[in-house]
Protein backbone atom coordinates (compact mmCIF):
# COMPACT_ATOMS: atom_id res chain seq x y z
CA UNK A 1 0.00 0.00 0.00
CA UNK A 2 1.78 3.08 -1.26
CA UNK A 3 0.90 6.69 -0.42
CA UNK A 4 1.78 9.52 -2.80
CA UNK A 5 1.01 13.02 -1.54
CA UNK A 6 0.12 15.38 -4.39
CA UNK A 7 2.15 18.57 -4.15
CA UNK A 8 -0.66 20.37 -5.98
CA UNK A 9 -1.99 20.97 -2.45
CA UNK A 10 1.41 22.09 -1.09
CA UNK A 11 2.53 25.70 -0.62
CA UNK A 12 4.10 26.55 -4.02
CA UNK A 13 6.20 29.18 -2.29
CA UNK A 14 8.24 26.62 -0.33
CA UNK A 15 8.48 23.32 -2.19
CA UNK A 16 11.76 22.30 -0.50
CA UNK A 17 10.23 22.53 2.97
CA UNK A 18 6.96 20.96 1.88
CA UNK A 19 8.78 17.98 0.35
CA UNK A 20 10.60 17.38 3.66
CA UNK A 21 7.27 17.10 5.49
CA UNK A 22 6.26 14.11 3.32
CA UNK A 23 9.55 12.21 3.62
CA UNK A 24 7.75 9.14 5.04
CA UNK A 25 5.60 8.76 1.92
CA UNK A 26 6.48 6.50 -1.03
CA UNK A 27 6.84 9.30 -3.55
CA UNK A 28 5.73 12.85 -4.26
CA UNK A 29 2.95 13.03 -6.87
CA UNK A 30 3.60 15.92 -9.26
CA UNK A 31 0.63 17.17 -11.32
CA UNK A 32 1.76 18.73 -14.59
CA UNK A 33 -1.13 20.67 -16.19
CA UNK A 34 -0.97 22.65 -19.43
CA UNK A 35 -4.28 24.57 -19.44
CA UNK A 36 -5.31 22.63 -22.59
CA UNK A 37 -5.84 19.03 -21.55
CA UNK A 38 -7.26 20.37 -18.27
CA UNK A 39 -8.48 23.90 -17.40
CA UNK A 40 -5.59 24.58 -15.02
CA UNK A 41 -1.90 25.41 -15.31
CA UNK A 42 0.78 24.27 -12.87
CA UNK A 43 4.42 23.75 -13.78
CA UNK A 44 6.48 22.30 -16.59
CA UNK A 45 9.79 20.65 -17.31
CA UNK A 46 12.24 23.17 -15.72
CA UNK A 47 10.38 23.17 -12.41
CA UNK A 48 9.97 19.38 -12.36
CA UNK A 49 13.69 19.04 -13.13
CA UNK A 50 14.54 21.14 -10.08
CA UNK A 51 12.01 19.33 -7.87
CA UNK A 52 13.66 16.05 -8.84
CA UNK A 53 17.04 17.45 -7.80
CA UNK A 54 15.91 18.67 -4.39
CA UNK A 55 13.52 15.87 -3.42
CA UNK A 56 14.72 13.10 -1.10
CA UNK A 57 11.83 10.90 -2.18
CA UNK A 58 11.13 9.76 -5.76
CA UNK A 59 8.78 11.71 -8.01
CA UNK A 60 5.60 10.29 -9.52
CA UNK A 61 4.81 12.53 -12.49
CA UNK A 62 1.16 12.82 -13.59
CA UNK A 63 1.03 14.47 -17.01
CA UNK A 64 -2.24 16.22 -17.77
CA UNK A 65 -0.98 17.74 -21.02
CA UNK A 66 -2.14 17.63 -24.62
CA UNK A 67 1.23 17.20 -26.33
CA UNK A 68 2.15 14.17 -24.29
CA UNK A 69 3.60 12.09 -27.15
CA UNK A 70 6.34 14.65 -27.74
CA UNK A 71 6.78 16.09 -24.23
CA UNK A 72 6.22 12.96 -22.12
CA UNK A 73 9.64 11.45 -22.95
CA UNK A 74 11.37 14.64 -21.72
CA UNK A 75 9.99 14.01 -18.23
CA UNK A 76 11.15 10.39 -18.36
CA UNK A 77 14.63 11.56 -19.36
CA UNK A 78 14.86 13.52 -16.08
CA UNK A 79 15.19 10.16 -14.33
CA UNK A 80 12.08 10.45 -12.18
CA UNK A 81 10.50 7.33 -10.68
CA UNK A 82 7.39 7.13 -12.87
CA UNK A 83 5.66 9.01 -15.66
CA UNK A 84 1.90 8.74 -16.09
CA UNK A 85 0.24 9.87 -19.31
CA UNK A 86 -3.47 10.08 -20.16
CA UNK A 87 -4.84 7.62 -22.67
CA UNK A 88 -7.18 10.40 -23.88
CA UNK A 89 -4.21 12.63 -24.80
CA UNK A 90 -1.92 10.17 -26.57
CA UNK A 91 -2.05 9.24 -30.24
CA UNK A 92 0.46 6.45 -29.75
CA UNK A 93 0.10 5.13 -26.19
CA UNK A 94 2.03 1.93 -26.87
CA UNK A 95 4.99 3.83 -28.35
CA UNK A 96 4.92 6.34 -25.51
CA UNK A 97 4.89 3.65 -22.80
CA UNK A 98 7.83 1.92 -24.47
CA UNK A 99 9.74 5.19 -24.82
CA UNK A 100 9.25 6.01 -21.11
CA UNK A 101 10.40 2.53 -20.09
CA UNK A 102 13.43 2.74 -22.37
CA UNK A 103 14.60 5.65 -20.16
CA UNK A 104 14.55 3.25 -17.20
CA UNK A 105 11.44 4.91 -15.79
CA UNK A 106 8.14 3.27 -14.83
CA UNK A 107 5.39 3.98 -17.36
CA UNK A 108 1.78 4.43 -16.35
CA UNK A 109 -1.43 5.07 -18.23
CA UNK A 110 -4.30 7.10 -16.75
CA UNK A 111 -7.98 7.17 -17.60
CA UNK A 112 -10.50 9.88 -16.76
CA UNK A 113 -13.73 8.97 -14.91
CA UNK A 114 -15.76 8.58 -18.13
CA UNK A 115 -13.17 6.54 -20.04
CA UNK A 116 -13.86 2.81 -20.32
CA UNK A 117 -11.41 0.46 -18.59
CA UNK A 118 -11.57 -1.86 -21.61
CA UNK A 119 -9.70 0.74 -23.67
CA UNK A 120 -6.47 0.15 -21.73
CA UNK A 121 -6.49 -3.64 -21.83
CA UNK A 122 -4.12 -3.86 -24.81
CA UNK A 123 -1.67 -1.59 -23.02
CA UNK A 124 -1.37 -3.60 -19.83
CA UNK A 125 1.54 -5.63 -21.16
CA UNK A 126 3.56 -2.43 -21.62
CA UNK A 127 2.93 -0.44 -18.43
CA UNK A 128 3.92 -0.66 -14.76
CA UNK A 129 0.89 1.14 -13.39
CA UNK A 130 -2.70 1.96 -14.27
CA UNK A 131 -4.24 5.14 -12.86
CA UNK A 132 -8.00 5.26 -12.52
CA UNK A 133 -8.96 8.89 -11.91
CA UNK A 134 -11.59 9.19 -9.21
CA UNK A 135 -12.33 12.88 -10.01
CA UNK A 136 -12.23 14.86 -13.27
CA UNK A 137 -8.58 15.90 -13.54
CA UNK A 138 -7.67 19.55 -13.11
CA UNK A 139 -8.02 20.52 -9.47
CA UNK A 140 -7.24 19.30 -5.98
CA UNK A 141 -9.76 19.17 -3.16
CA UNK A 142 -12.67 17.68 -5.14
CA UNK A 143 -14.97 14.93 -3.86
CA UNK A 144 -14.43 11.39 -5.15
CA UNK A 145 -17.01 10.50 -7.82
CA UNK A 146 -18.80 7.37 -6.45
CA UNK A 147 -19.43 6.02 -9.99
CA UNK A 148 -15.67 5.47 -10.33
CA UNK A 149 -15.63 2.80 -7.59
CA UNK A 150 -16.88 -0.04 -9.84
CA UNK A 151 -14.15 0.99 -12.32
CA UNK A 152 -11.49 0.44 -9.66
CA UNK A 153 -12.79 -3.11 -9.15
CA UNK A 154 -12.98 -3.65 -12.91
CA UNK A 155 -9.42 -2.39 -13.39
CA UNK A 156 -8.18 -4.67 -10.60
CA UNK A 157 -9.83 -7.67 -12.24
CA UNK A 158 -8.31 -6.77 -15.60
CA UNK A 159 -4.85 -6.58 -14.01
CA UNK A 160 -5.27 -9.93 -12.28
CA UNK A 161 -6.45 -11.45 -15.58
CA UNK A 162 -3.39 -10.03 -17.37
CA UNK A 163 -1.10 -11.97 -15.02
CA UNK A 164 1.24 -8.95 -14.89
CA UNK A 165 2.66 -7.10 -11.89
CA UNK A 166 0.84 -3.81 -12.46
CA UNK A 167 0.14 -1.32 -9.72
CA UNK A 168 -3.37 0.20 -9.54
CA UNK A 169 -3.35 3.87 -8.59
CA UNK A 170 -6.32 6.04 -7.66
CA UNK A 171 -6.20 9.84 -7.70
CA UNK A 172 -8.77 12.40 -6.64
CA UNK A 173 -10.76 12.83 -3.46
CA UNK A 174 -8.90 10.07 -1.60
CA UNK A 175 -9.30 10.50 2.17
CA UNK A 176 -9.00 8.46 5.37
CA UNK A 177 -12.76 7.82 5.03
CA UNK A 178 -12.67 6.08 1.62
CA UNK A 179 -9.12 4.72 1.26
CA UNK A 180 -9.95 1.36 2.92
CA UNK A 181 -12.78 0.79 0.48
CA UNK A 182 -10.52 1.72 -2.47
CA UNK A 183 -7.93 -0.79 -1.23
CA UNK A 184 -10.59 -3.45 -0.76
CA UNK A 185 -11.67 -2.93 -4.39
CA UNK A 186 -8.11 -3.46 -5.62
CA UNK A 187 -6.16 -0.18 -5.49
CA UNK A 188 -2.65 -0.43 -4.00
CA UNK A 189 -1.31 3.02 -4.81
CA UNK A 190 -3.02 6.15 -3.51
CA UNK A 191 -2.59 9.80 -4.42
CA UNK A 192 -3.76 12.20 -1.73
CA UNK A 193 -3.39 15.97 -1.99
CA UNK A 194 -5.66 17.81 0.40
CA UNK A 195 -5.92 14.74 2.67
CA UNK A 196 -2.18 15.08 3.41
CA UNK A 197 -1.30 18.76 2.98
CA UNK A 198 -4.51 19.88 4.68
CA UNK A 199 -3.14 18.51 7.96
CA UNK A 200 -0.42 20.07 10.10
CA UNK A 201 1.25 16.73 10.88
CA UNK A 202 1.81 15.18 7.45
CA UNK A 203 3.74 12.15 8.74
CA UNK A 204 0.88 11.25 11.05
CA UNK A 205 -1.65 11.67 8.24
CA UNK A 206 0.45 9.55 5.83
CA UNK A 207 0.63 6.80 8.50
CA UNK A 208 -3.12 7.03 9.09
CA UNK A 209 -3.87 6.71 5.36
CA UNK A 210 -1.47 3.78 4.99
CA UNK A 211 -2.95 1.95 7.99
CA UNK A 212 -6.49 2.41 6.65
CA UNK A 213 -5.39 1.13 3.22
CA UNK A 214 -3.78 -1.94 4.83
CA UNK A 215 -7.05 -2.63 6.63
CA UNK A 216 -8.96 -2.46 3.35
CA UNK A 217 -6.44 -4.77 1.71
CA UNK A 218 -6.81 -7.43 4.40
CA UNK A 219 -10.61 -7.35 3.95
CA UNK A 220 -10.33 -8.28 0.22
C1 LIG B 1 -6.26 16.29 -9.95
C2 LIG B 1 -4.88 15.79 -9.62
C3 LIG B 1 -4.74 15.20 -8.28
C4 LIG B 1 -5.02 16.15 -7.13
C5 LIG B 1 -5.59 15.34 -6.03
O6 LIG B 1 -6.33 16.53 -11.29
O7 LIG B 1 -4.49 14.79 -10.54
O8 LIG B 1 -3.47 14.58 -8.10
O9 LIG B 1 -3.90 16.83 -6.67
O10 LIG B 1 -5.96 16.18 -4.99
P11 LIG B 1 -6.97 15.70 -3.86
O12 LIG B 1 -6.35 14.50 -3.19
O13 LIG B 1 -7.08 16.87 -2.97
O14 LIG B 1 -8.26 15.32 -4.54
ZN1 LIG C 1 -2.67 13.67 -10.07
CB-CB contact of 155 with 133 (8 Å): no
Closest atom, ligand 1, to C-alpha of 33 = 6
Model pTM score: 0.98
Give the count of beta carbons closer than 10 Å to the beta carbon of residue 110: 23
Give residue 194's pLDDT.
98
Phi-psi region of 186 (alpha: psi -120 to 50; beta: other; left: phi over 0): left
Mean pLDDT of the chain: 98
Give residue 153's pLDDT.
98
Just list the catalytic residues: 31, 171
Phi first, then psi: give them for residue 40, nearest 5 degrees.
-155, 155
User: pLDDT tens digits for 162-219?
Assistant: 999 999 999 999 999 999 999 999 999 999 999 999 999 999 999 999 999 999 999 9
Sign of dihedral through CA atoms 20, 22, 27, 31? negative
Question: How many whole angstroms from 157 Cα to the centroid of ligand 2?
Answer: 23
Report helix, strand or coil for 187.
coil
Give the count of beta carbons closer than 10 Å to the beta carbon of residue 101: 16
CATH no., domain 2-218:
3.20.20.70
| Distance of alpha carbon 220 from alpha carbon 209, whole angstroms | 17
113 lines ligand 1 (CB under 6 A): no
Question: How many whole angstroms from 63 Cα to the centroid of ligand 2?
Answer: 8
Q: pLDDT tier at 66 (50, 70, 90 boundaries)?
A: very high
Question: How many whole angstroms from 137 Cα to the centroid of ligand 1?
Answer: 7
| Distance of alpha carbon 87 from alpha carbon 168, whole angstroms | 15
175 lines ligand 1 (CB under 6 A): no
Ligand 1, pocket-test mutation among 27, 191, 198, 206, most atoms within 8 A of CB:
191
Give residue 34's pLDDT.
98
Domain borders along the chain are 2-218
User: pLDDT tens digits for 109-150?
Assistant: 999 999 999 999 999 999 999 999 999 999 999 999 999 999
Instruction: Please spell the DSSP secondary structure of 134-177, one letter per residue.
Output: SS-TT-SSPPP-GGGHHHHHHHHHHHHHHTS--EEEEESS--TT
Q: Mean pLDDT over residues 58-81, rounded?
A: 98
Amino acid sequence: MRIHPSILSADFGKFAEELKTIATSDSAHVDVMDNHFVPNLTFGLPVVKRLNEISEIPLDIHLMIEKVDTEGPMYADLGVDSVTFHLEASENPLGLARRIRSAGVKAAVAIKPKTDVNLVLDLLAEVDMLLVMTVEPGFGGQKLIPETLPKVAEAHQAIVASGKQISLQVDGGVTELNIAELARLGADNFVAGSAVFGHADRAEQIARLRAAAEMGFTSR
